Amino acid sequence: GIVFGFSTGLFLGSLDGDVRWRVMLLLGCIMPILLIVCVFTVMPESPRWLTANDRSAEAKEILRKVYPPGFDVDHILQGIHESIERDAAAENAVGWSVIFHPSPAFQRMLLVGVGTAVAQQAVGI
């Protein structure tokens, strides 16, 4: 990312000051615009989200498009239903005690996660 930024600055250095920032802004908008267009035109809705919002028929159609012809998508849809039910049960079972009184394994996970965030800020990149 840094090399790309410096090389872009090198290429745009010969442009006039009023034009330079506009081109840089335009270059920063190209990739997000392409991603937004792809999301709206290419990507289907999430079958899990559709199932969670009681739109199982639409989820089944999308699964039929994604999986090969003849594949049993009913089994996949049933698995999604079970996963949503397990997630709902687990959501109520876990509280703040996991954070305030962590197990040794969870302490290591917290140490790695917080340590990575602190190191990233300390390095300055």
The pLDDT value given to residue 47: 92
Q: What is the pLDDT of residues 14-36, one digit of tens each?
A: 888 788 888 888 888 999 999 99
pLDDT digits (tens, 9 = 90+) for 33-80: 999 999 898 888 899 999 999 999 999 999 998 899 989 899 999 999
Helix H, strand E, coil C: the string for the chain is CHHHHHHHHHHHCCCCHHHHHHHHHHHHHHHHHHHHHHHHHCCCCCHHHHHHCCCHHHHHHHHHHHCCCCCCHHHHHHHHHHHHHHHHHHHHHCCCHHHHCCCHHHHHHHHHHHHHHHHHHHHCC
Closest CA to 9 of 33, 29, 21: 21
- C-alpha to C-alpha distance for 77 and 56, rounded to whole angstroms: 8
How far apart CA 58 and CA 110 sit, in angstroms, is: 39
Given a cut of 80, is residue 96 above it in pLDDT? Answer: no
Chain-centroid distance of CA 64 in Å reads 23
Per-residue pLDDT, 22: 86
The encoded tokens of residue 98 equal: 């996991």
